[in-house]
Structure 1
Amino acid sequence: MRSKGGLELWGGVECTVNRVGDRYIEQLGRNAHWDRPDDLDRFASLGIRAIRYPVLWEEIAPFGLASADWSRPDERLARLRELKVRPIVGLVHHGSGPIDTSLVDPAFPEKLAAYARAVAERYPWVEDWTPVNEPLTTARFSGLYGLWYPHGRDEKTFKDCLFNECRGVILAMRAIEAVNPSAKLVQTDDLGKTYSTPLLDYQAYFNNELRWLGWDLICGRVDRSHYLWKWLIERCKATPDEILWFRDNTRAPDVMGVNHYITSERFLDDDIDAYPEHHRGGNGVHRYADVEAARVLASPTGGIKPLLKECWARFGLPIAVTEAHIDARREDQLRWLAEIWRACEECIDEGIDVRGVTVWGMLGLYDWNCLLTDVRDYYESGAFDVRSGTPRPTAVAHLMRDLSAGAVPPHPVLAGKGWWQRDDRFFARPVSVRGLVFPTRPDTGANRAPILITGATGTLGRAFARICAERDLRCRVLSRAEMDIGDPDSIERAIDLHKPWAIINAAGYVRVDDAEHDAERCFRENTLGPANLAAACERHALRLVTFSSDLVFDGERDSPYVETDSTRPLNVYGESKARAEKLVLDANPDALVVRTSSFFGPWDAHNFITVALGALRRGDAFHAAGDVTVSPTYVPDLVHACIDLLIDRESGIWHLTNEGEITWADLALRAAEFAGVDASRLEIIRDQHAQLPARRPRYSALSSRRAFPLPSLDDALGRYVRDSTLQ
């Protein structure tokens, strides 16, 4: 179904096969898409009408067409046809072809055309094609910046890469059209804009002309009157015949594919001392910093809408946003996609022919934070999160279903501002540029209902309040006087007063030893209260997050507990949590119950690590158990993950801890090492648990069969030492 105005929802899988040196880095191997044929059914279930899908030259015919392996595209394209999802077939995606060619090989265009002909003959029913994704961007990374093969760093290599790619597009389309005369070219490239201080206006103008060059060549717009003609001749060493070949061999796109990211908009500042060294550069005339515009411009830019209007004014061709993605917290991913969708609908209302919006990286993206120059396993989730091994639909997938039905829903998180609009986005002093004024973004009309958070005085409650504020999520933190979870009437009054969309229960009885002789109060706070909340949230259709503990287990094993393991608590506190889990999920199957363990955080003076480091710094003795193994949890990581899961509409029992298991004594030693604190006064004790009023399990490490892993313990300890306000 199309939205009002005819805007279609498209999808795409990040499929780059880029070459760094002689190593090929393949995204689809890392996200395991080729091992899951049912991914296509997942995608189709979201309501997409088309999908950018790879039949990549390097993967299918790495050693020539004679030995090409068509098994994957045979299966996948046939299934897309059955699902009535239109494939937009890509042949080269940030790649440079098989090992026997490259972007600077004079034969690259003809070789690509031969491959394109073979693909078209095998799938003659396919109509939409992107022979080369982002030719200009790939030429910059491969020929000008030295990041990808052939690692050029000069204008001539850039020109050779770009001209070969653009010739390849044109010759490939000729070959495809010889098989299917109705074939259409969907030509993608990154479309950003450069802003600058007045001194650097000339450089910004050059950058803003250069961004069109790939499309201009393919459209036959580059001749002696073109702004870049002289630069191409003098700096890039192009010949007039090379350039004019494109004028005489035009293949204008049927659809202009616009890819747009936060990093696509840049700001050039001659005040280089205001920025870190890695942002500084120059052009031989002036030194300047080149930074993300969103991080320094005092007013947020106009976003994608003015860029689409520029594209329409320049070419007058149909447009699609062929990549829409941001590496951000979940609500900002939703805000970014909704912003782009609305901008496209507004363009349609103004008479611009915008065909679709493509949610990119349906399975997420790996290592784009280093531009794929290394394998660091940095993952950005998309419509699905694949880190557990089974793709899990995120809130982006839910939003896609709404968009495919024709509307942006009034979800409460959309009422907030994305980080690119918030006042905490600046990493240097904000810059106001004379004459540079952007329109105020209209109110989204989203529901502004808050999240209610219980436990106003506790570690978790305060952390949730702090992080919700950072993420511009409206919340209200309630004391027991404002909402007593042990009293159903008190819960009803609070819901009626605040009209929330979700409740996060961060309250509870936490004194494990005291619970042995204070069981009634413990069960009221830890069992009855969550059960009351679950029933109320079920009645009012509200989302609920509540917390359980590793102490629901008896510790009689030596491998981490997962969500499906049977509970057998050893003490009253653990029993109160185990009973709560059952009562909550019986009353409200949509509730999210998070088991976690051993909190430490940068804002809490009473957690184990803060207390241990404080004692060791003072030279005091500190006792820690060497025979009790736990899974420590860094509170900021836990809170961020819980908010993401809440927005994703997840339910049931989840284990969330930082990766790793460790004894209390080793945890104190590790923390002291990170903090540079002398640990000689640490005294390791054994059998301490047997001397406490409440029995503890010797081993209560947690793992998960369904959750994405939180960062490693070492990573968390490093951030704790860096960010702690208590040292």
Structure 2
Amino acid sequence: MSADQMLPKLELWGGVECTVNRVGDRYFDQLQRNGHDTRIEDLDCFANLGIQAIRYPILWERTAPNGPEQADWSWADERLAYLDDIGIRPIVGLVHHGSGPPHTSLLDPEFANGLAEFAQAVATRYPWLEYYTPVNEPLTTARFSGLYGHWYPHAQDDRSFIRALINQCRGVALSMEAIRRVNPAAKLVQTEDLGKVFGTPLLSYQVAFENARRWLSFDLLCGRVDRSHELWDYLRQSGTEESDLDWFLDHPCPPDIFGINRYLTSDRFLDERLDRYPIHTHGGNGRHQYADVEAVRVCEEGICPPETLLKEVWERYHQPIAVTEVHLGCTREEQLRWLKEIWDAAQHLRQEGVDLRAVTAWSLLGAYDWNSLVTRDECFYEPGVFDVRPPCSSTLQSPSPRPTAIATMLRHLSHGEPYNHPLLEVPGWWQRSDRLLYPPISCFHTHTSEDSANFPSTHSLTHPSTHPPITPSPLLITGATGTLGQAFARICDVRGIPYRLLSRQDMDVTNPAMVEQVLTEMQPWAVINAAGYVRVDDAERESHLCRSINTDGAAILAESCAQRNIGLITFSSDLVFDGDRQQPYLESDPVAPLNVYGHSKAQAERQVLHHHPDSLVIRTSAFFGPWDDHNFLTIALRTLKAGQPFLAAEDAIVSPTYVPDLVNASLDLLVDGERGIWHLANPGAIAWADLARQTAQLAGVDASAIQPCSTQSFGYAASRPAYSVLSSERGILLPDLDRAIAQYLHECDRVHV
């Protein structure tokens, strides 16, 4: 019998991003941001994934900010009872990157006692609860709050860092003592981010220190920090009393399960050669100045593989392990690749005899503003297993989580079934050479044998493959000469999506035999139909040609893709509407085109969905982007910079669409397996003249030469709607127009440098 067969089945857990961190006097509450605070029905969505357990918040700050005697248990009562009914085991968190209620802080000597009092109240009310995480990532929280000053109480010194860490770890131990007085069988699932540090030989002493410090929360709880501990002198020199350290020797509280939160950017590289790195990475320790950068961006070998890191935990503590957070704020296929890598690593370690209990899909509902470490309120959202970006506020329906491809993957894993997707055959960005932003360095060779005893093992940094390289099925993109087709190709390069960009000579979509031949030869997993007849006014006199390409070609492609079970995206337009309203159009609104081009797109929508019901039809509007010279904004800025007048309509209201946003969202929806009609445009209703004026002002260009005029004055052959703003009843996936314009200008500057 193999070691894996002797262990319980690898479980699939889930987690809701529930951070309540404090910046100054403002609290950032993820449960309010993601809407789970008021949506108990989310729990049914989680149950459908097949997860066995969930890291779930019953947070001190939210439940009992004024003490247990004034606690409001209504939210917890309802949620915990519901979880019990649907058979999901809660792992209850009491503080999640928080600093407690307003009356306390991580530096408060009474923090630990206050937390333990709350823990006892939780256990008394819910004596059946078995698994607890009183404090999530105490070391990380202590660094962010006591060493780097990001979060309250915003300290930036070693003394405060250690005090914050000791208070949290003491709070964990006292909380578990209190909980076990009620339920002696209660178990501690202690989480921590164990990012590894690498560096140059000069900085080997700092690297060794950082890699020793990453274990400190676990070592304190396990009663390992005595006078022989490698960090004892550091702790004492930083002002820690011996009695504070001895307390943990007298009150050991080893985790029943060591929870490892694994993130790609947690591994760091230290380098004294400051000229290699941007100034914002520069820092030091008083002895040397050095840059602190993401290891994945500089180490030739890449990050420390999950197997290596988890094996180190096992060899150090020989206690059960769970991966308690797996999340990647990135494109959908990269999220899938990262989760699969961790899951496969866990399975492999179990075969080697490591008692690894579970892998946790974190951020079930995504996360807000973690790109700024939750120090700014910018509504920057990262989807997770579900996407909770709401529909247009004018719809009557309430927002509900939309399952992404990760949800499909989890359902397969929870049932012991393989999950296959062609994009999983491509290495993640952290394994591709284009991840390197700085001169590459071999991390494996940067440490001397002298410091190897203090530095955790660096073996297996590479990702060897015992299999010959696989040629994944490509994504076919039509419209090689068009703005959209070229944008898809460019972004597929960045995202690591193999593709073939086809011209009309390569595949004429109006030729059924040619379409059949190309699909048979290339065996794509999906097709992006970015080809089309786009000359709106010429279509009035070339109606047959317009309909042949836009309608018949799209239908031919849809029918052929459907026969082969190939995914399809095709694009439609805001010109399927007549503009006889003053509120944004939604997907279910009836179409009523005013011109030949609009008719061709409306007919294409019907025929494509008739032939291929699983295809994705995306309506969009008014392209602008940094990579072509012929869109409205680029022409406007070029004209104004030349000192020439620029005419723009002031009576036509549109919802402009930033092409990179459109392409990325379209690809995510394709990977998710979405179907039907979607509206994708950057939220915002604006007249063409105002769009030109706003962009010029943001670009620092004199806008006085913009001349507003009527649409009629242009003498267009094709009628156009006066109002064609798009919104969505399915989900607002693109950032607002102001942010899109700013990104456009930034990218234009970068492209033309």
Give the TM-score normalised by the residue count of structure 2: 0.93
One-letter amino acid of the structure 2 residue matched with residue 430 of structure 1: P
Deviations 1:297-326 (A, max 9, x none): 122123222110111111011110001111
Query: After the TM superposition, which residues 399-414 of structure 1 pair with which residues of structure 2 at under 5 Å, given as runs?
Result: 399-414=409-424
- Is the contact made by 1:602 and 1:726 (CA closer than 8 Å) also made in structure 2? no
The Cα of 1:545 is off from its aligned counterpart by: 0.4
- Is the contact made by 2:577 and 2:592 (CA closer than 8 Å) also made in structure 1? yes
One-letter amino acid of the structure 1 residue matched with residue 220 of structure 2: L
Report whether the alignment pairs 1:529 with 2:553: yes
Q: Structure 2 CA distance, aligned partners of 1:461 and 1:429? A: 33
Report whether the alignment pairs 1:20 with 2:30: no
Q: Which residue of 2 aligns with 1:148?
A: 151
Query: After the TM superposition, which residues 447-486 of structure 1 pair with which residues of structure 2 at under 5 Å, given as runs?
Result: 448-486=472-510
Describe the shift of the 1:565–1:527 C-alpha distance in structure 2 as closer, same or farther (beyond 3 A). Answer: same
Q: Which residue of 2 aligns with 1:263?
A: 265
Q: Which residue of 1 aligns with 2:430?
A: 420
The Cα of 1:345 is off from its aligned counterpart by: 1.3
Query: After the TM superposition, which residues 503-518 of structure 1 pair with which residues of structure 2 at under 5 Å, given as runs?
Result: 503-518=527-542
Q: Secondary structure at the match of 2:45?
A: helix
Equivalent in 244, 258, 275 of residue 242 of structure 1: 244
One-letter amino acid of the structure 2 residue matched with residue 83 of structure 1: I
Q: Structure 2 CA distance, aligned partners of 1:434 and 1:220? A: 32
Query: After the TM superposition, which residues 52-71 of structure 1 pair with which residues of structure 2 at under 5 Å, given as runs?
Result: 52-71=55-74
Describe the shift of the 1:123–1:471 C-alpha distance in structure 2 as closer, same or farther (beyond 3 A). Answer: same
Q: Secondary structure at the match of 2:735?
A: strand
Q: Secondary structure at the match of 1:129?
A: strand
Equivalent in 105, 119, 122 of residue 122 of structure 2: 119
Deviations 1:111-141 (A, max 9, x none): 2222111111211111111111111111111
Q: Secondary structure at the match of 2:640?
A: helix
Q: Structure 1 CA distance, aligned partners of 2:133 and 2:503? A: 57
Q: Secondary structure at the match of 1:659?
A: coil
The Cα of 1:108 is off from its aligned counterpart by: 2.2
The Cα of 1:678 is off from its aligned counterpart by: 3.4
- Tell me the number of residue pairs that the alignment of Structure 1 and Structure 2 aligns: 724
The Cα of 1:440 is off from its aligned counterpart by: 2.7
Q: Which residue of 2 aligns with 1:335?
A: 337
- Is the contact made by 2:267 and 2:304 (CA closer than 8 Å) also made in structure 1? no
One-letter amino acid of the structure 2 residue matched with residue 684 of structure 1: P
One-letter amino acid of the structure 1 residue matched with residue 240 of structure 2: A
Q: Which residue of 1 aligns with 2:731?
A: 707
Q: Which residue of 2 aligns with 1:500?
A: 524
Deviations 1:327-380 (A, max 9, x none): 111111111111111111111122111111111111111111222222221111
- Is the contact made by 2:678 and 2:730 (CA closer than 8 Å) also made in structure 1? yes
Q: Structure 1 CA distance, aligned partners of 2:372 and 2:154? A: 15
The Cα of 1:419 is off from its aligned counterpart by: 2.0
Q: Which residue of 2 aligns with 1:288?
A: 290
- Is the contact made by 2:301 and 2:443 (CA closer than 8 Å) also made in structure 1? no
- Is the contact made by 2:21 and 2:97 (CA closer than 8 Å) also made in structure 1? yes
Instruction: Pick which of 426-435 and 648-657 moved more.
Output: 426-435
Give the TM-score normalised by the residue count of structure 1: 0.96
Q: Structure 1 CA distance, aligned partners of 2:105 and 2:638? A: 59
- Is the contact made by 1:600 and 1:634 (CA closer than 8 Å) also made in structure 2? yes
Q: Structure 1 CA distance, aligned partners of 2:151 and 2:647? A: 53
Q: Which residue of 2 aligns with 1:158?
A: 161
Query: After the TM superposition, which residues 432-451 of structure 1 pair with which residues of structure 2 at under 5 Å, given as runs?
Result: 432-433=442-443, 435=445, 438-442=461-465, 448-451=472-475
Describe the shift of the 1:152–1:723 C-alpha distance in structure 2 as closer, same or farther (beyond 3 A). Answer: closer
- Is the contact made by 2:259 and 2:322 (CA closer than 8 Å) also made in structure 1? yes
Q: Which residue of 1 aligns with 2:698?
A: 674
- Is the contact made by 1:630 and 1:699 (CA closer than 8 Å) also made in structure 2? yes
Deviations 1:556-588 (A, max 9, x none): 111211111111000111001111111111222
Q: Structure 2 CA distance, aligned partners of 1:99 and 1:260? A: 30
Q: Structure 2 CA distance, aligned partners of 1:456 and 1:278? A: 40
Describe the shift of the 1:560–1:241 C-alpha distance in structure 2 as closer, same or farther (beyond 3 A). Answer: same
Instruction: Pick which of 610-619 and 413-422 moved more.
Output: 610-619
Q: Structure 1 CA distance, aligned partners of 2:245 and 2:705? A: 74
The Cα of 1:172 is off from its aligned counterpart by: 1.1
- Is the contact made by 1:659 and 1:709 (CA closer than 8 Å) also made in structure 2? no
Query: After the TM superposition, which residues 123-142 of structure 1 pair with which residues of structure 2 at under 5 Å, given as runs?
Result: 123-142=126-145
Q: Secondary structure at the match of 2:228?
A: coil
- Is the contact made by 2:328 and 2:338 (CA closer than 8 Å) also made in structure 1? yes
Runs of 4+ that moved beyond 4 A: 443-447
Describe the shift of the 1:375–1:621 C-alpha distance in structure 2 as closer, same or farther (beyond 3 A). Answer: closer
In the alignment, structure 2 segments of 5+ residues that lack a partner are 391-398, 447-458
Q: Which residue of 2 aligns with 1:42?
A: 45
Deviations 1:370-416 (A, max 9, x none): 22222221111111111113211111111111221224523111122
Report whether the alignment pairs 1:193 with 2:184: no
Q: Structure 2 CA distance, aligned partners of 1:715 and 1:19? A: 26
One-letter amino acid of the structure 1 residue matched with residue 152 of structure 2: Y
Q: Structure 2 CA distance, aligned partners of 1:411 and 1:689? A: 52
Q: Which residue of 1 aligns with 2:456?
A: none
Q: Structure 2 CA distance, aligned partners of 1:79 and 1:460? A: 47
Instruction: Pick which of 306-315 and 404-413 moved more.
Output: 404-413
- Is the contact made by 2:264 and 2:303 (CA closer than 8 Å) also made in structure 1? no
Q: Which residue of 1 aligns with 2:454?
A: none
One-letter amino acid of the structure 1 residue matched with residue 331 of structure 2: R
The Cα of 1:667 is off from its aligned counterpart by: 2.0
Q: Secondary structure at the match of 1:373?
A: coil
Q: Structure 2 CA distance, aligned partners of 1:134 and 1:340? A: 19
Q: Which residue of 1 aligns with 2:371?
A: 369
Q: Which residue of 1 aligns with 2:360?
A: 358
- Is the contact made by 1:412 and 1:446 (CA closer than 8 Å) also made in structure 2? no
Describe the shift of the 1:373–1:612 C-alpha distance in structure 2 as closer, same or farther (beyond 3 A). Answer: closer
Q: Which residue of 1 aligns with 2:176?
A: 173
One-letter amino acid of the structure 1 residue matched with residue 670 of structure 2: L
- Is the contact made by 1:569 and 1:575 (CA closer than 8 Å) also made in structure 2? yes
Deviations 1:524-543 (A, max 9, x none): 11111111222222221111
Instruction: Pick which of 428-437 and 698-707 moved more.
Output: 428-437
Instruction: Pick which of 79-88 and 90-99 moved more.
Output: 90-99
Q: Structure 2 CA distance, aligned partners of 1:216 and 1:285? A: 27
Q: Kindly, what percent of the aligned residue pairs are identical?
A: 56
Q: Which residue of 1 aligns with 2:310?
A: 308
Q: Structure 1 CA distance, aligned partners of 2:402 and 2:268? A: 34
Describe the shift of the 1:325–1:441 C-alpha distance in structure 2 as closer, same or farther (beyond 3 A). Answer: farther
Equivalent in 218, 231, 239 of residue 234 of structure 2: 231
- Is the contact made by 1:605 and 1:726 (CA closer than 8 Å) also made in structure 2? no
Q: Which residue of 1 aligns with 2:574?
A: 550
Q: Which residue of 2 aligns with 1:633?
A: 657
- Is the contact made by 1:620 and 1:681 (CA closer than 8 Å) also made in structure 2? yes
The Cα of 1:433 is off from its aligned counterpart by: 4.0
The Cα of 1:447 is off from its aligned counterpart by: 7.5
- Is the contact made by 2:572 and 2:617 (CA closer than 8 Å) also made in structure 1? yes
Describe the shift of the 1:359–1:555 C-alpha distance in structure 2 as closer, same or farther (beyond 3 A). Answer: same
Q: Which residue of 2 aligns with 1:662?
A: 686
- Is the contact made by 1:261 and 1:326 (CA closer than 8 Å) also made in structure 2? yes
- Is the contact made by 1:412 and 1:447 (CA closer than 8 Å) also made in structure 2? no
Q: Which residue of 1 aligns with 2:395?
A: none
Deviations 1:180-208 (A, max 9, x none): 12111100011110000000000000000
- Is the contact made by 2:613 and 2:676 (CA closer than 8 Å) also made in structure 1? yes
Q: Secondary structure at the match of 2:54?
A: strand
- Is the contact made by 2:119 and 2:178 (CA closer than 8 Å) also made in structure 1? yes
Q: Structure 1 CA distance, aligned partners of 2:548 and 2:400? A: 38
Q: Structure 2 CA distance, aligned partners of 1:337 and 1:29? A: 26
Q: Secondary structure at the match of 1:710?
A: coil
Q: Which residue of 2 aligns with 1:93?
A: 96
